[in-house]
A = this chain, B = another copy of it.
Amino acid sequence: MARWHDVAQALRDAITTGQYPPGSKIPKEEELEAQFGVSRTTVRRAVAQLTTEGLLLPVRRGGTTVRTQPERQTLPLDTRAYRDELGYYFSQTVQPWRALQPPTVTEGPCPPDVAPLLGLAVGDPVVIRDRIMGNPATGRVMQLATSYLPGDLAAGTVLAQPGTGPGGIYDRMENDLGWGTLDWEGVITARSATADEARLLDLAPGTPVLCVTRMTIATAGDAEGRVVEANITRRDASLFEVRYPITRAE
């Protein structure tokens, strides 16, 4: 087979057998070149593969270290919607992250991955509400949250304004826009990080992100039966898992 496959497998084995324990450095590229008798390009192809697999973390001038695999943080599955006088909540646990920047609201064309969720065509106008969440103390970005709303429904309304008032966006939909009692549905997907996501989440290009999407469905008014919001959160897939109980049907 390909030489770089062999080099990658040899490094993988050396890591899993403990020859290079987590946190340790593997030999520099020049030494791997000599060790395996291949060119630097081939060494780099193998290291790149193990990097996207999450095993290695190359850093300029600092060498390439074996990533310490942190326990994944557990996200509870949002199967229930709660509300109090302040608005709706979907998680039973309060997330420790805060918005690192003021949320941005823009209008633009609907991206291909969102169109089927909203029942729109690619390029149709949508209102995009973007939030970057993380640890304010360290500045570390932990999740990206983006809401897409159909432009024909949301543009020019309070939904397209940065502040949505007391109770938030869902109270506006239910009370002010007359969209009835809202329904929600959840979807979990995974895909490679985009260039922007990789930059913001500090990921190597091509590493997977875990996407949790919550769709909001109107039950009355001019939006009846339509998906009026798709809220997509994206996180480093190596750092998070979604966990849920399985109950016995009697």
Contact = CB atoms under 8 A, between A and B. Distances in A.
Nearest to A194: B53
A208 B190 contact: yes
Interface in A235-250: 237-238, 240-249
A184 interface: yes
A112 interface: yes
B246 A214 contact: yes
Which of A54, A116, A191, A247 has the largest count of B CB atoms less than 10 A from its CB?
Answer: A191
Given A185-B245, A249-B80, A192 B210 contact: no
B81 A248 contact: yes
Contacts of A192: 52-54, 207-208
Contacts of A38: none
Contacts of A243: 185-188
B116 A79 contact: no
Which of A71, A207, A208 has the largest count of B CB atoms less than 10 A from its CB?
Answer: A208
Number of copies of this kind of chain in the complex = 2
Q: Number of contact residues on A: which range applies?
A: 35 or more
Nearest to A15: B112
Which of A80, A116, A248 has the largest count of B CB atoms less than 10 A from its CB?
Answer: A248
Nearest to A111: B16
A49 B48 CA distance: 11
Contacts of A246: 78-81, 90, 183-186, 214
Contacts of A135: none
A180 interface: no
Contacts of A41: 41
A16 to B, nearest CB: 7
B54 A247 contact: no
Interface of A: 5, 8-9, 16, 41, 49, 52-54, 69, 71-72, 77-82, 90, 111-112, 116, 181, 183-192, 194-195, 205-210, 214, 237-238, 240-249
